[in-house]
Amino acid sequence: MKTPLALAAALLALPLAPVLAADAVPVQGLWLTADQGAAVKVMPCADNAGALCGTIVWDKDAGNAHDTCGTRIFQMSRDDGGTWRDGWVFDPRDGKKYKGYVRRKGDDLNIRAYVGTEVLGKTEQLTPLSALPATPHCS
C-alpha cells in the first residue's frame, strides 16, 4: 500500500518541478547588453502580470535621436522550465519583431531572436548589472 501512495505523491509534485527550477536561476533584474550600450530591466509585464517583459531603462544615447529608452524589447508569456517562450523579441536596431526566447545561461541572460526555427537566429548575451550607470538618464 505504501508504494501507490508514494507514487501518487511523486506524481503530484511533478508540476512543481519547473517552477522550482525557474526560481533557482531567476531572470528578473537589471542586465547590460553585450556592447554595454543599454541596460534592460526584466520583470513581470505591467499589463500582463503572468508574462515576462524586458524594457530598456538606460541607453548610452539617451536624449538624442537614437534614444531607445523605454522600448520593450521582449515579452514572453510562458515559463518552460526556466526558458521563457511564447512571445516576441524586438530588435531596436532594425525595428523588427521576431519569435524568440529568454533564458539564463550561467550568470548571463540570453535573448534569442529568430525567424521560423530557433536554429535560424541570433542570441544577444546580457550580463548582470547591480545598478544603472549615473549618466545619461532615460527620461
Q: What was the pLDDT predicted at 106?
A: 95
CATH number at 2-128: 2.40.128.520
**Cell numbers linked to 91:** 530588435
Average pLDDT over residues 30-44: 96
pTM of the model: 0.79
Q: What was the pLDDT predicted at 23?
A: 47
- pLDDT score of 127 more than 70: yes
pLDDT tens-digit profile of 85-124? Answer: 999 999 998 999 999 999 999 999 999 999 988 888 999 9
Average pLDDT over residues 27-34: 96
Contacts of 20 (CB under 8 A, 6+ apart): none
Determine the 3-state secondary structure of 16 from DSSP.
helix
- pLDDT score of 12 more than 90: no
Cβ proximity of 77 and 51 under 8 Å: yes
Q: What was the pLDDT predicted at 6?
A: 42
Domain ranges, ordered by start, for the chain: 2-128
Determine the 3-state secondary structure of 49 from DSSP.
strand
Q: What was the pLDDT predicted at 120?
A: 87
Average pLDDT over residues 42-55: 95
